[in-house]
Structure formats: structure tokens, C-alpha cells
Structure 1
Amino acid sequence: MRETSGPARAAAGPTILVVEDEAMLLDVVAAELTDAGFRVLCAASAEEADGILGAGTGIDLLFTDIRLPGRLDGWDLAERARARNPALPVIYVTGYSAEAPRQVSASVLVMKPYRPSAIVRVARQLGVG
């Protein structure tokens, strides 16, 4: 797990767990969310993110790519997260998925490519921040 750093972190508001295996995209999204006043925790796999969620870390929003390395994908991760916290808002992102969507209720699917600022807007639409 990596937490964003810098001056914005000290004044950060709600916590967003960002799960993305593309390091550059993870950094860009995390920076945008941090600049918008969120505390951001980063994970490069669903297994890593599941460990963060299982540790009882207070997460206010799950942002996950669907296609991830490992045995769990973003759909699986969101289902596990919702089993722990039924009201947790979820934003899924994908560039391509051959599978039929398995979105949890009251979630949003965003297609790649997207502007990082769009993620901030969606988070706020979901009532976070």
C-alpha cells in the first residue's frame, strides 16, 4: 500500500482506495484526487487492496480498475468490499472487458481513457467529498 504524500495530505478529507496496475495512471489519478482534498491509498492489485480493506482501514470510496493482475479482478474486489461495507461507493474503470458487467448497486462504470478530473466529479456525485 502506498499513501499519497505532500502538503495536501495533511488536510485531506475522505479516503479513497485507488486500485490500478498501470503505475503512471495510478500516479496521475492519485495526484488529482489528492489535489482535490482526498486522502488516497494506492494498491496495484485486487489482493493488495483486499488486504487494506480487511485491515479495517476507513475507506470512503473504492476506485478500481476491472482488469487487474492476480486471481481477483475489480468485480471480485468490489463484491468483497461491499460484503464488509454494504454502503461503500464504488467507481469501476476499464478500457475493455470481455465479461458482462457485474457492478454492485449504486456504483459507476467509467470507460478509459478518461480525464482524472472526471473521477473527482464522479466521487462527489456519489456523495464522497
Structure 2
Amino acid sequence: MSGPPKLQILLVEDEALLLEVITADLEDAGFGVFQAETAEGAMNILRAGSSVDLLFTDIRLPGQMDGWQLAEAARTLRPDLPVIYATGFSQTPPRLIDGSLFFTKPYRATAIIRAIQSLTAAPGA
């Protein structure tokens, strides 16, 4: 007998240590985690058809896209994908899309987990 399927989080963070710590926190909370260090890597995961229930992205990322652009591009593929943004510092003004939340670093894992649960809760649950 298996329980409900795990929610799958796409975690995009270029700081390797933080990526590992957050992944461990999310997995401990019962989530599955796809990891990407760049927006381009995250888009490859989404384009591959991976089962992703929520995008959790840093704003400042190496490569051609930042977290704002990643979320906008991800929504072209998955219009209902919930998004959580996080940043320690961003010179660009926030461009939050509908159905998203924003956290500043440092943040507590418990706050992120609650946010994931609130964004992915089934309607009427």
C-alpha cells in the first residue's frame, strides 16, 4: 500500500551548499526534489516532461536567465505551476507572477515548507 504521490519540487540554486541543504530539508519533509544550478538547466528538466509540482528558484542565477525570467518561461510550458522565489539581493524590481511567493535569504526551511504546502494544497482541502 503506497501513500499519496510525493510532491516534486524543482529547486534552482547556484550556490552548491545551499542547494544541498535545502534539498535535504525538502526531502526530509517528504518532497521529491529535482535540482538545477541554472535557469537553463531548470528549463531542460521542465521540457523533458518531468513531473514538477512547484518551482522554487533563486533570483540571481548564472547564465542567460534570472529567476524572474525562468518563472515566466516555465509558465509558458506549465501555466498553473506554482512558484516560490528567493534572493539575498536583487537589483531588479520584483516581477512576481500570479500564484507565487517571495522570500528573502536567509529564510527558514519551515517557512518554505509551509509555503509549498499552501501553494500546492488541493482546492477545498
> Gapped runs of 5+ residues in structure 2?
none
Q: Secondary structure of the equivalent of 1:42?
A: strand
Deviations 1:71-96 (A, max 9, x none): 11101110011111111000000011
In the alignment, structure 1 residue 25 sits paired with structure 2 residue 13: no
Q: RMSD over aligned Cα, in angstroms?
A: 1.5
Shift in CA distance, 125/67, structure 1 to aligned 2, threshold 3 Å: same
Could you tell me how far 1:118 is from its partner in structure 2? 1.4
- Counting only pairs closer than 5 Å after superposition, residues 36-51 of structure 1 correspond to structure 2 as 36-51=29-44
Distance 1:127 1:42 in 2: 19
- Gaps spanning 5+ residues in structure 1: where? 1-10
Check conservation: 1:66, 1:94, Cα contact below 8 A. Answer: yes
Distance 1:13 1:121, change over 3 A: same
1:41 aligned partner, one-letter code = F
Q: Structure 1, residues 18-37: CA drift from partner, whole Å, max 9, x if none?
A: 00000111111100110111
Give % identity: 54
Q: 1:127 aligns with which of 102, 117, 120?
A: 120
The more displaced of 109-118 and 14-23 is 109-118
CA contact (8 A) 1:65 1:94 kept: yes
Once the two structures are superposed, residues 91-120 of structure 1 have per-residue CA deviations (whole angstroms, 9 ceiling, x without a partner) of 000011111111111100000011122111
Q: CA deviation at 1:127?
A: 2.1
1:76 corresponds to 2:66: no
Q: 1:117 to 1:12 in 2, by over 3 A?
A: farther
Q: TM-score, normalised by structure 2?
A: 0.90
**Contact 2:54–2:120 (CA<8 Å) still a contact in 1?**
no
The TM-score normalised by the length of structure 1 is: 0.88
Q: Distance in 1 between matches of 2:110 and 2:64?
A: 30
